[in-house]
Amino acid sequence: MKFFLPLTVLLLALASFVRAADDPAEGVKAATKVREIFEAKCLDCHGPELPRPKGKFGYVLDLKRVADNPDYIERGKPDKSDLFKMVEDDEMPGEDANVPPLTRDEKDIVKRWIELGAPDAPQVAGETTSAAPKTAEAKQLMPFWKRLLRYIGRMHPVSTHFPVALMFVAVFAEGIAWWTRRDSWLQTVRFLVVLAALGAISAAALGWINAYFASYVGQAAPILKWHRWLGTGTAIWAVVCAALAMIHECREGTTERQRLRGALLLGAFLVGVSGFLGSALIYGLDHYAWN
């Protein structure tokens, strides 16, 4: 019992000495852990496979490249490293993310990694396979009906091609009707616009489902908002067009026909703008720029 206190002191001193000695193995360990943390919490938005990573930052697992970027990391100085500040303040992964913010422990690991000079760690063979079951596990946490719903929502982009094309073709057919003055063309217009309305309703419904599972932050968030409401409005307008075409006889030269014609033109315009905003969510607002 007499030796207990000195022994403890000695052990503690020894332990702190081992800690203080910056052995290179600690750097590799920290780097490996940091990569695991980034893989779990940043990959959705900054992964290398994304066509448009958020903030044009798509290499979060390439620690060497991250550490070499002075905008993100100042080696040895976490407080001057923007990347650390972002995770420390829970700015990243952000409120809209599907993942929770970093825990205190995880933040400390990132901090320690930068203090150690933000070293790289060799990619261990099989690391990706060890991470795979983790994601599979995470997917299992979602109940089946939810995963099914998410899957159905993914049909939104493909479904939108129907109302877009049908609405444009309806305007084209209406143009021929006007040019040829043949009432028979009205049948074609009716057929097209009713299908367009049905397609628009389905596309809008799928869009709401799809957006529920998506996380758009930063610049994309307001685009999603506009796309959502304009898309919903377009679907309603397509139904109005279909109703105008069906309810009245719409003979050439009548006011009803003129009204239908105007409604179709507006519908085609709306469907075009909604479609553009939708693709801007994937490819960015400048995706029609020449360069």
Q: Smallest distance from the beta carbon of 65 to ligand HEC, in angstroms? A: 12
Q: Smallest distance from the beta carbon of 276 to ligand HEC, in angstroms? A: 21
Rounded to an integer, what distance in angstroms lies between the CA atom of residue 110 and that of residue 63? Answer: 12
Q: Smallest distance from the beta carbon of 153 to ligand HEC, in angstroms? A: 17
* Dihedral over Cα of 73, 79, 82, 87: its sign: positive
* Dihedral over Cα of 277, 279, 282, 288: its sign: negative
**Choice between 44 and 74, CB closer to ligand HEC:** 44
**Choice between 42 and 260, CB closer to ligand HEC:** 42
Q: Smallest distance from the beta carbon of 73 to ligand HEC, in angstroms? A: 9
**Choice between 80 and 251, CB closer to ligand HEC:** 80
Rounded to an integer, what distance in angstroms lies between the CA atom of residue 45 and that of residue 97? Answer: 9
**Choice between 87 and 264, CB closer to ligand HEC:** 87
Q: Smallest distance from the beta carbon of 76 to ligand HEC, in angstroms? A: 18
**Choice between 58 and 175, CB closer to ligand HEC:** 58
Rounded to an integer, what distance in angstroms lies between the CA atom of residue 144 and that of residue 150? Answer: 10
Which chain residues interact with ligand HEC by CB under 6 A?
38, 41-42, 44-46, 54-55, 57, 60, 71-72, 83, 86-87, 92-94, 96-97, 99, 215, 217-218
Rounded to an integer, what distance in angstroms lies between the CA atom of residue 17 and that of residue 96? Answer: 43
Q: How many CB atoms lie under 10 A from the CB of residue 6?
A: 9
Q: For the chain, how are helix, strand and coil distributed in percent, rounded to 5?
A: 70, 0, 30
**Choice between 45 and 244, CB closer to ligand HEC:** 45
Rounded to an integer, what distance in angstroms lies between the CA atom of residue 47 and that of residue 274? Answer: 28
Show the tokens assigned to 287: 């995706």
Q: Smallest distance from the beta carbon of 115 to ligand HEC, in angstroms? A: 17
Q: Smallest distance from the beta carbon of 83 to ligand HEC, in angstroms? A: 4
Residue type, 14: L
**Choice between 45 and 166, CB closer to ligand HEC:** 45
Contact between 158 and 191 under an 8 Å Cβ cutoff? The reply is no
Q: At what angle do helices 161-180 and 185-213 cross, to 10 degrees?
A: 160
